[in-house]
């Protein structure tokens, strides 16, 4: 029984293999003839897709004309991108020149620095200038206080009350007392 089943399986495999091979031989000739037409259609479809992407009209045009139009569109886009890049670079240089001017006004060195480095140098220079201005302001305030103390000492010698009075008011009172003393001497 085993021999009978295995013989049937072998026969089935043998005949099915032959039919597949025979079918493949006959179908190959028909695919070759259809293949050229299909390939031409596929190429045109791909070309139409590319043309649509680049905004090129394909109606009543040959494949060569469409390809040429696509190349022109690509070249135009490339030129447009080059112009944009040049404009961007010019703007960048203009901004760098402005930054350099600011840096020079603040006394920062900009030689061989990028825009970011120049901005950082400007920031540092501004911070240093603020610190310098704060120092000057503190020194000026200290000098004012010293002058006020001197005025208060003079006012005390002349017997003038200085509570709640400004430096100008104290000066006026001192001058008035001096003028009165001169009048009294005469």
Sorted by where each begins, the domain ranges of the chain are: 58-184
| Predicted confidence (pLDDT) at residue 28 exceeds the cutoff of 70 | no
Query: Nearest to residue 160, comparing CAs of 146, 147, 185, 177?
Result: 177
Query: Nearest to residue 72, comparing CAs of 55, 88, 96, 92?
Result: 55
- Of 26-30, 125-129, 179-183, where does the model show the most confidence? 125-129
User: 114 in helix, strand or coil?
Assistant: coil
- For position 20, what pLDDT does the model report? 47
pLDDT tens for each residue of 66-90? 999 999 999 999 999 999 999 999 9
Global pTM reads 0.46
CB 169 within 8 A of CB 149: no
Stronger pLDDT, 180 or 13, i.e. the higher one: 180
């Amino acid at each position: 029984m085993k021999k009978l089943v295995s013989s049937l399986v072998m026969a089935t495999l043998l005949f099915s293999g032959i039919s597949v091979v025979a079918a493949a031989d006959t179908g190959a000739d028909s695919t070759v003839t259809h293949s050229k037409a299909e390939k031409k259609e596929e190429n045109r479809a791909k070309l139409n897709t590319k043309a649509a992407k680049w905004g090129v009209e394909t109606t009543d045009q040959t494949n060569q004309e469409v390809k040429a139009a696509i190349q022109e569109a690509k070249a135009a886009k490339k030129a447009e991108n080059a112009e944009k890049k040049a404009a961007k670079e010019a703007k960048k240089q203009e901004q760098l020149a402005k930054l350099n001017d600011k840096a020079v006004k603040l006394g920062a060195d900009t030689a061989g620095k990028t825009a970011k480095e120049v901005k950082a140098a400007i920031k540092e220079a501004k911070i240093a200038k603020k610190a310098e201005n704060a120092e000057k302001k503190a020194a000026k305030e200290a000098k004012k206080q010293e002058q006020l103390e001197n005025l208060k000492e003079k006012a005390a010698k002349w017997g003038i009350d200085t509570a709640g009075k400004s430096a100008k008011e104290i000066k006026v009172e001192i001058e008035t007392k001096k003028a009165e003393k001169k009048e009294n001497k005469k």
